[in-house]
Chain A
Amino acid sequence: MKMIMRIAALALFLAWAAASSGPARAQGASDLINPQISYAYLPPKSAKYLPMVERLKSFQLLEQFSQLLSPLRLPHKFALSTRECGFVNAMFYINPNADPAWRIDVCYEFVDAIERIAPKQGDQSGYTYEEVVVGSITGVLMHEAGHAVFNFFDVPVFGREEDAADEMSTFMALQFSPDVSQMVVRGFAYMDKVWFAFGAPLWSDEHGSGLQRYYNTLCLAYGADPARFKALLDASDMPKDRAAGCAGEYEQVKAAFAKTVYPFIDQDMMKKVQAKLWLKLTPQQTAALKQQQQSEKQTFNLAACNLSTASKVSLALAVRQVSDPSKWEVYGWFPIPDGGCNYIGPFYGDSFYWYAFGDNNAEWSADDSDTTATKQCINNSAAFDETAGAVCAAGQQPVNFLRRVIDPSSDGVTLRLTGGK
C-alpha cells in the first residue's frame, strides 16, 4: 500500500474490506470518460463526516479526478473512493478481494486534517485557505495516482518511490493552466511544510521529511516556470546551489515521464483534458469553503529566543496532534541559538506545553506545585517523538512542562527564555 504519509493504525484498514463493495458510479457527464475508472463516495460511519461528504460531492472531487486520469490507457479497472478509514491518510493499494482490486482511497479523516491545518482568517502565511484545501487534496490524489501509474505500467524507479510519486504529482500539476499549477503546487507545499514537517524527522521512513518534500516540490515548480514560482522560492530559503539545479531536476522528471509514462497516454484525450478548466470554483463552492474556514480553530506560529546566559539551549514541546487533536505529542529537540532566536514552526491548537535545558544545568520547567503543568518523558541525549502520557522508556526521564495558552487575537507566540533555574 502506497501512502501519502506514515501512519500507525494500519490494522484499522482491514475493517474496511466489507465496505469495498459499496456503490460505484461511472464518471460524470463528460466526453472525458475512461470506462476502466469508477468512483464512489462511501458513506461514513460517523455522522460528523456527513457534511464533508456532501461538500466533496458538491465539488465533484472524484468526478473531476477520474476525468483528469481518463487519458491513461489502463490495463485493468481502477477505483477511486472517499471513505472513513479510522486513520488519517490517502493511499493507493491493491486488494485482491475487492472489485476492482486497484484502488485509491482518500480518508475523510485526511480531508478533515487538511481543513484544520489550512490557514485561518487573518493568517499571515501568504497562503489562502482555498488553495491549501483544494490544492493539497488534488496534489495528494495526484501523488497516489503516481504510485498507481508506476504500478499499472511497470515503471522502473531508481530513486525512492515516495519522492517519485511527489514528482509525478507536481509534474502533472505543472502541465495544466497557471491557475491549476499554482494552486496544486502551493497547496502541496503548504501541507508539506506546515503539517508533514511536524515533529522530528523519522529518518528510517520511506517518505522524505516534510521539509524535504516541500523543497522538492518548490524546486520542480521553479525549474519548470522560474518566473511564476520565483516568489515562492524566494520565500523558502532554499540553498542557492539547489535552486540553480532546479531546471535540471525538472528536465530529469520530464525525460523520465516522456520515456516511461507518455507512451501509455491517449494523446487526443490528453489534449481535451488540458483544454478543460479545472479547479474553477463556483460562487457557491467558494462560499462553502469560507464557511468551513470560519468554523476551524486556530493554528499558531512559535518562535523561541535564548536571552539567558546559558548556552546550547534546547527546547521540547507538547502540542496537539493535527490528525487527532484529542491527543498530544511530545518531541524535541529544537536548538535555540545563544543570544538569538529561532522560528520553531506552526502548530495546531489553543495551547501548548514546553520545557528547555542548556549547559551548566540551566533548565526551564514547571514547579511541582504548578497545577497547569504536565509531566512528560524526555530524552535529553537524543531526539524523541512520543505520544504524551506514555510510560518513560529506557533513557527517558519525566520532567514538568510549562503550559502556554495562545491569545486567539495574536499571530503566534515567542518564548523568551531568561534566567533558568
Chain B
Amino acid sequence: MMRSMIGATAVVLACACLTICPTRADAQIPPGLQNPQIEIVYAVPSNASYRPIYDRLKQRQVLEELRAFLAPLKLPRKLTVNVDQCGAARRPYKPQGPVTICYELVAEITQTASKLDASLQPSVTAGAFILVALQALAHGVYDELQIPVWGRMEDASDRLAALVMLQFGEDLALRTILGATALFTASGKTWAVSDFGNALSPDEQRYYNYLCIAYGGAPITFKFLTVPDKNGEQTLPSARAERCADEYAQVLKAFNLWIMPSVDPNLLVRVRATPWLQAGDLK
C-alpha cells in the first residue's frame, strides 16, 4: 500500500535545509542562462480563484526560471511553455505543443501541501511543482527531438522527470521526489474499472515509479525507503527495490543516447552549479 513518506523524509530534508535552504523573496535568474527556443506564457485565468496563483507564479518568475534551467537543451524549433486554466488538472500534450501546466494542478499541489506541517509546505509545494512542470515538459522534449519512446508516454515522462531531478544534488532530489509523492499520497482517488484505461497511470503506481528511479539513482540518499518500519514493511518493497538500479540505468542509457547529444555541456555545468528551487519558491 502507498504510504506517506513525509515523516521519514522530513527528517532528512530538514537537516539538509538547515544549512542550504535560504529563503528568497524573488527569483534570481542566473545571467547567461537562457533558452531562446522556449517561449513562455502566463495565461490570465478566467476563474478568479486562480488569480492569486497566476500572480504568484508571475511575480516569482517561475517559467523564466524553468527556461533558464533548460538553457543547455538545444531544441530544433520553438516550444511554448504556458500556465493556463485547463478545465482539468492536466491538458494532454499534442504534437508541436504547447506544453501546458494547469492552474488547476498548481491549486491541487497547494491544497495538498497546506495539509502538511507548515515547515514542510514550501519544500513540498516547490518540489511537486517542478516535477509536474518537468513531467509536462518531457512530452515536449520527446516530440521536439523526435525521440523513440517505448512504454507508456506518461510513465516515460515521469521517469525522465525523476531522472533529471536526481542530477542536481541530494537536497533537490529529496525535495522534488517528496513533493511529487506527497501529491500522489494525498490524492485519495479510488479506481473504477474503466479508469484503468486512462493514459495516465494511477497515482499509486506513479508513486512507486518515482521512488524506484530515486532509489535506483541515489541509493544512499533514498536508503530510508527500504528500511522496514515497526511492522516490518518498507516504503519501497524489496521486490521492486532490488530492480531499481536497473530501472534507473535503463532511463539513463536512453537519456544519454537520445537526449545528451542535444545538451550543451558547458551550459549544463553552469546549470548544475546553480542553486535551484529555494525554500521560498512558490510560497
Q: What residues make up the interface of A, taking CB atoms closer than 8 Å to B?
A: 6, 150, 154-161, 163-164, 167-168, 201, 203-206, 208-209, 211-212, 214-216, 219, 236-239, 241-242, 245, 248-249, 252-253, 255-260, 335, 343, 382-383, 393-395
Q: Mark B149-173, 1 if CB is under 8 A from A, else 0.
A: 1111101100110000000000000
Contacts of A260 in B (CB 8 A): 148, 150
* Other 18 A-B pairs with CB < 8 A, given A159-B156, A216-B152, A260-B148: A6-B239, A156-B254, A159-B155, A160-B151, A163-B155, A164-B150, A204-B208, A204-B237, A206-B243, A208-B205, A211-B196, A237-B193, A248-B95, A249-B153, A257-B148, A258-B148, A383-B1, A394-B231
Contacts of B237 in A (CB 8 A): 204
B25 within 8 A of A: no
Given known A156-B258, A256-B150, contact A215–B196 (CB-CB < 8 A): yes
Does B197 contact A211, Cβ atoms closer than 8 Å? yes
Contacts of B150 in A (CB 8 A): 150, 155-159, 161, 164, 167-168, 253, 256, 260
Q: What residues make up the interface of B, taking CB atoms closer than 8 Å to A?
A: 1-2, 92, 95, 142, 146-153, 155-156, 159-160, 190, 193-199, 201-202, 204-205, 207-209, 231, 236-237, 239-240, 243, 247, 250-251, 253-254, 257-258
Does A160 contact B153, Cβ atoms closer than 8 Å? no
**Alpha-carbon distance A214/B209, docked complex (angstroms):** 20
User: Which of A164, A203, A242 has a CB less than 8 Å from the CB of B2?
Assistant: A203
Does A238 contact B194, Cβ atoms closer than 8 Å? yes
Looking at B159, B195, B196, B207, the one whose CB has the most chain A CB atoms below 10 A away is B196
Does B250 contact A157, Cβ atoms closer than 8 Å? yes
Contacts of A215 in B (CB 8 A): 196-197
Does A164 contact B148, Cβ atoms closer than 8 Å? no
**Alpha-carbon distance A411/B243, docked complex (angstroms):** 42
Given known A203-B2, A383-B1, contact A158–B149 (CB-CB < 8 A): yes
Looking at A6, A204, A219, A259, the one whose CB has the most chain B CB atoms below 10 A away is A204
**Alpha-carbon distance A158/B207, docked complex (angstroms):** 17
Given known A157-B250, A158-B251, A206-B243, contact A167–B197 (CB-CB < 8 A): no
Contacts of B198 in A (CB 8 A): 239, 242
What would 23 A/B residue contacts be, using CB atoms closer than 8 Å?
Answer: A155-B150, A156-B254, A158-B147, A159-B149, A159-B155, A161-B150, A161-B151, A161-B250, A163-B152, A167-B151, A201-B205, A203-B205, A205-B239, A206-B240, A206-B247, A209-B196, A241-B92, A241-B199, A249-B199, A253-B150, A260-B148, A260-B150, A393-B231
Looking at A163, A203, A212, the one whose CB has the most chain B CB atoms below 10 A away is A203
Contacts of A150 in B (CB 8 A): 150
Does A237 contact B194, Cβ atoms closer than 8 Å? yes
Please report whether the interface of chain B is mostly helix, strand, loop or mixed according to DSSP: helix
Looking at B92, B152, B159, B208, the one whose CB has the most chain A CB atoms below 10 A away is B152
Does B258 contact A159, Cβ atoms closer than 8 Å? no
Contacts of A201 in B (CB 8 A): 202, 204-205
Does B196 contact A158, Cβ atoms closer than 8 Å? no
**Alpha-carbon distance A160/B152, docked complex (angstroms):** 7
Looking at B147, B197, B199, B240, the one whose CB has the most chain A CB atoms below 10 A away is B197
Does B92 contact A245, Cβ atoms closer than 8 Å? yes
Contacts of A236 in B (CB 8 A): 197
Does A159 contact B153, Cβ atoms closer than 8 Å? yes
Does A157 contact B254, Cβ atoms closer than 8 Å? yes
Contacts of A248 in B (CB 8 A): 95
Does B149 contact A239, Cβ atoms closer than 8 Å? no
B244 CB to closest chain A CB, in angstroms? 9
**Alpha-carbon distance A157/B243, docked complex (angstroms):** 15
Contacts of B196 in A (CB 8 A): 209, 211-212, 214-215
**Alpha-carbon distance A258/B148, docked complex (angstroms):** 9
Does A159 contact B236, Cβ atoms closer than 8 Å? no
CB closest residue in chain B, given A258: B148
Does B194 contact A205, Cβ atoms closer than 8 Å? no
CB closest residue in chain B, given A219: B197
A350 CB to closest chain B CB, in angstroms? 25
Does A256 contact B149, Cβ atoms closer than 8 Å? yes
Contacts of A204 in B (CB 8 A): 208, 236-237, 239-240
